[in-house]
Structure formats: C-alpha cells, structure tokens
C-alpha cells in the first residue's frame, strides 16, 4: 500500500514519515518530488494544491485526501480523475482550533483591539465612553458545516447572540437558523459580526461583496476564515472606507501569501492573519489519514467525503 504526499513541501516529508510509521507501519510513504518506479502502485494521495494533471498520472488511485478541510484546491485541477473520491480532512482538532480562533476574533472586534493597536503606534490615549459587551454584538455565521456548527455553538455558549446561515435549516441548540438565499437578507439585517465559514464554490464566490455588506447594520464587522474567493477585495476596502464596515479580521485571500502591495495590509480597520485559523498538526493529520486508509481498505464508509452533487 502506497501513499504519496504533496503537502508542506519536501522538507515536511521526514516528519510525515515519522508519524505514518507510528500510525500506519505497513504504509509506504513517498513525496511527490520522489521518482516512482510504478505510479500505478499509488493508492492514496494526500495533497494541498496538487499540480494540474499530476493526480491523473496516478492510475491506481483509490482515494484523494485533502490536507485541509476545503477541496477547492483539488477541484481547481481540470484534469483531476473525477471517478476517485475526495476526502476532506476535518477533525475534532480542526473544529476546536477554528472555534477558538473565531471566538478570539469576535472578542477582539467587540473590545476594539485593532483601534488600540493603531492608537498605540501613535501614543494616543483615547478611552471609550461606553464599554461594548458580547451580549450587544449579534454574530452571524455563514456556513454551518463541521466547522461553522462548532464555531456557532461556542460563540452562543460564550454569550454572543448567534445565528447561522446555511443551505438547509440547521438545528443547533442556542443558535438561530436561517437557510437559503431567501432568508439571507433577514440574517444579514440582524448581524453585527459576520463570520464566513462557507466552502469555496462557484455559488459562494464573491458572496462577501458590496450588496451583502449593504444589508448589514452600519458599522458591522467581518471575519473571513472561509476562502479568499468569497471576498470582493475592492468592496471590502470600500465598505471599510465608507464606515459600512467598521473592522475586518481576514485570514484567507485570493492570492496567498497576500501580496505586499495589497492595500489590505495597511488598512487601519483590518487585522490580517496568515491562513492559520485552523491548521492541525501533521501528527494529528497523519493519525486521521491512517484511519481513513484503514477504513478504505476494509471497505468501511468514509467520513467527510466531497459531494459532487453539492459542490463541497
């Protein structure tokens, strides 16, 4: 049984090998950069942004495993073997990391930490008249999947009035549910902090745009931890400049790393983080992948498979 890895570059391979030796001792592990005697022997590929056409050259593939929760980076390959299922890598650790990250971002927005960072840079002492509390900040989470549901649940439990928006109605305790395009305006109108945890699909592309921002209460904030493709970057900047948005915490971008010339880097209302909201350790990912391969070999059902009918 052979697994080929393209995730983290050649320098990450010794660490991957060490973890797979622990969790799947019989598995042969090689890197994408290593020559293969017989590519058809590769049954499994663990990938992040595979080079277009490469997966198609592995004729014996049984399963493609995304090294992250999203699969858009695999679907971007027009020659990918469409008959091979794709597993999304979603673990408890991913959900925990994401929930904590968004909670921290929502608190930083509520308590205006970005303003104090800006003030500190110019030695300005400006005490707010009225303290802002969690209970005053209604959070709206777009996407209530494995990560969105865990995030919305933590936010609600912590004290943020929380709602979620998804394709189908969700029944999360303590979280108001809105579903479908029809209920989007109502969801946006009650949202002071908009969190995007949608998958990157053709339907969700550009959803964080001027039209969406206009439906939020004036001065709302944005946390984008979904995909860069969700944002129309120019519209985010215009909304911040006009005051329609007051702050944004942005973790994902169309081009990553975010180019030095992007105005987002220097915008006073923006906090940039480097696509780090939820990045489980290689050890945890190897443990999960080893279990996926075991299940696949045993003919057992696999969790979190990409659904071509839904597009995510």
What are the two backbone dihedrals, phi and then psi, of residue 270, each rounded to the nearest 5 degrees?
-115, 135
The contact mask relative to ligand OXD for 271-300 (x = CB under 6 A, - = no) is --------x---------------------
Asked if 79 is an active-site residue, the reply is no
70 versus 143: smaller Cβ distance to ligand OXD: 70
Per CB under 6 A, 13 contacts ligand NDP = no
CA-wise closest residue to 154 among 106, 226, 223: 106
Instruction: Count the site residues for ligand NDP by CB under 6 A.
Output: 31
Alpha helices (H) in 142-221, listed in sequence order: 146-158, 184-189, 210-214
DSSP 70: -
Sign of CA dihedral 198, 204, 205, 206: negative
List, in order, residues 6 or more apart from 82 with CB less than 8 Å away. 308
Q: Is 168 exposed, middle or buried, given 0-12, 13-18 or 19+ CB atoms closer than 10 A?
A: exposed
Closest approach, Cβ 304 to ligand NDP, in A, equals 7
- The mark string for 70-89 relative to ligand OXD (x by CB under 6 A, - otherwise) is x-------------------
Q: Is 61 in the site for ligand NDP (CB under 6 A)?
A: no
Instruction: Considering only residues 50 through 69, tell me which ones interact with ligand OXD, judged by CB under 6 A.
Output: 68-69
Binding site for ligand OXD (CB under 6 A): 68-70, 279
- Catalytic residue list: 227, 275
Binding site for ligand NDP (CB under 6 A): 68-70, 90, 94, 143-148, 166-168, 197-201, 203-204, 225-227, 251-252, 275, 277-279, 312
């Amino acid at each position: 049984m052979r697994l080929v890895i393209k995730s983290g570059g050649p320098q990450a391979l010794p660490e991957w090998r060490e973890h797979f030796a622990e969790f799947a001792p019989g598995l042969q592990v090689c890197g994408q950069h290593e020559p293969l005697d017989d590519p058809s022997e590769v049954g499994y590929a663990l990938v992040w942004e595979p080079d277009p056409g490469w997966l198609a050259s592995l004729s014996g593939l049984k399963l493609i495993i995304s090294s992250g929760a999203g699969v858009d980076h695999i679907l971007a390959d027009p020659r990918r073997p469409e008959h091979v299922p794709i597993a999304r890598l979603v673990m408890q650790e991913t959900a925990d990391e994401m929930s904590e990250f968004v909670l921290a971002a929502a608190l930083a927005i509520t308590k205006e930490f970005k303003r104090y960072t800006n003030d500190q840079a110019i030695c300005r002492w400006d005490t707010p008249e009225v303290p802002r509390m969690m209970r005053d900040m209604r959070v709206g989470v777009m996407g209530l999947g494995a990560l969105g549901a865990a995030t919305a649940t933590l936010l609600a439990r912590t004290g943020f009035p929380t709602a979620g928006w998804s394709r189908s109605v969700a029944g999360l305790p303590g979280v108001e549910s809105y579903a479908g395009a029809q209920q989007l305006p109502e969801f946006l109108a009650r949202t002071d902090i908009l969190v995007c945890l949608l998958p990157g699909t053709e339907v969700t592309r550009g959803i964080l745009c001027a039209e969406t921002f206009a439906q939020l209460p004036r001065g709302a904030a944005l946390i984008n931890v979904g995909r860069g493709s969700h944002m129309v970057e120019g519209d985010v900047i215009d909304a911040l400049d006009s005051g329609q948005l007051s702050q944004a915490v942005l973790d994902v971008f169309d081009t990553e790393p975010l180019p030095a010339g992007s105005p987002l880097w220097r915008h006073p209302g923006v906090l940039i983080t480097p696509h780090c909201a939820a990045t489980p350790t290689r050890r945890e990912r190897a443990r999960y992948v080893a279990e996926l391969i075991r299940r696949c070999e045993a003919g057992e059902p696999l969790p979190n498979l990409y659904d071509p009918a839904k597009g995510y």
